[in-house]
Amino acid sequence: MSSFTKSTSFNRRALSSLSVESPRSTSSTAFNSPVGSAFASPRTFGGSPRPYTNRLKEISYLFQVLIVAGTLVSFLVIIAGGYLYVVPSLGYNGALQFNETSVVTGDKECDIFDGSWVVDDSYPLYNASECPFVERGFNCLGNGRGHDEYLKWRWKPKHCDVPRFQVGDVLERLRGKRIVFVGDSMSRTQWESLICILMTGLDDKRSVYEVNGNNITKRIRFLGVRFGSYNFTVEFYRSVFLVQPGKLLRWHAPKRVKSTLKLDVMDVINHEWSSADYLVFNTGQWWVPGKLFETGCYFQVGNSLRLGMSIPTAYRVALETWASWIENKIDPNKTRVMFRTFEPSHWSEHRSCNVTKYPTPDTQGRDRSIFSEMIKEVVKNMTVPVSVLDVTSMSAFRSDGHVGLWSDNPLVPDCSHWCLPGVPDIWNEILLFFLFRQQVQ
């Protein structure tokens, strides 16, 4: 509309200036300019006078040209404005910018870990009974869980969506790569989940196999699954502390000390990880008195036994050891590094396990973890880029997602591990977002 108004004003000024033109004005400008020639006094230039009707036709023609031009400009302005308005709202397929934990869509910044769980009937992403790499103990539905509402939840950030990748596209992006998970049984659960998600994109399931022919079990320290058609592996290394457990040597220690955890030494199998293309770490579930002091395991730094060191202090020392290893052993041009934060359990005060039917609206403080805060603090001061998968808060609502009594040993309730399919699938959707966000951008 603004373009059309400007054209009308121009025409009025032209008419006004030409209406007071002196009859004696015979400058060549009036004849060289189309506007001047159209509105000049009826005079000749090397010929006979033009009829009055011809001048009216020229005036009418010019008005039509100006109106069409103004309309065209207005249309282009509207199209451009619409493009700028619509494209940012397209989410993953639009123009995205990425920070460490957030997505910028248009003028809105979205923290992907700040959101809520919403019902989505397109879940689950796979059938655990059809995936040979799910441990029997995690297949809750197959173990007799009577309702499947826990399978129908999707994580929804407040101002955006977690991108849903096409599995075929992910398989192509992983061609020739190594994804390595390092950590405890929660890491193994996430490893199993990712394999099952990726297998849904294959017609020939037989092309996926464990490289040593092993069955999936918590007793094996290394498990590697190869996707033969795409020549990539998804591997798991069991390293529950990331640093090195050791035997008690040369000390006249109290009888309660049976072994030590060398906080300043990385796990001896660390050389197996350094050449990976994608590294995903976690540790947390074993940093409790029941797994340490009550078994006679205490902390060691150098040649010094630290009997009075608290678990949080020891955890921080171990993280600093891990960070130093990353900075000295990892080539950031080859390897992407991620650290998943502590995943909360839902045991009651008296160590009883009550798996709910739906997510809980009250996290009862489980959305915060001193371990998770330490991870973020250590990573923030590192020179090598590390992405933090901050799943603590989002997982704290999922009291419905645990194994409970639906495991391979129903006599032992479990409010620590997660059913598959389930919450770890959402961790992996976010993991894929972090792995491929540069390509998406």
Quote the tokens at residue 274.
């350094």
**414 catalytic residue (yes or no):** yes
CB 223 within 8 A of CB 239: no
423 three-class SS? helix
Residue given tokens 């591997």 in the structure block? 235
Question: Could you give the dihedral angle defined by the CA atoms of residues 126, 128, 134 and 136, in that order, rounded to the nearest 10 degrees?
Answer: 170
Distance CA 195, CA 225 (A): 8
Quote the tokens at residue 55.
């001048």
Residues 102, 185, 239, 372: which is the catalytic one? Answer: 185
Q: What is the CA radius of gyration of the chain?
A: 34
CB 161 within 8 A of CB 257: no
Distance CA 291, CA 187 (A): 17
Residue given tokens 């395991």 in the structure block? 297
118 three-class SS? strand
**Phi, psi (rounded to 5 degrees) for 264:** -100, 15
Q: What is the DSSP letter of 366?
A: T
**229 catalytic residue (yes or no):** no
- Tell me the longest C-alpha to C-alpha distance in the chain: 126
The CA-based angle 192-195-197, given to 5 degrees, is 110
CB 178 within 8 A of CB 232: yes
Give me the sheet containing 259-266, strands edge to edge: 243-247, 259-266, 297-301, 304-306
Quote the tokens at residue 320.
């600093």
**239 catalytic residue (yes or no):** no
Residues 184, 267, 400, 414: which is the catalytic one? Answer: 414
CB 281 within 8 A of CB 339: yes
- Catalytic site positions: 185, 414, 417
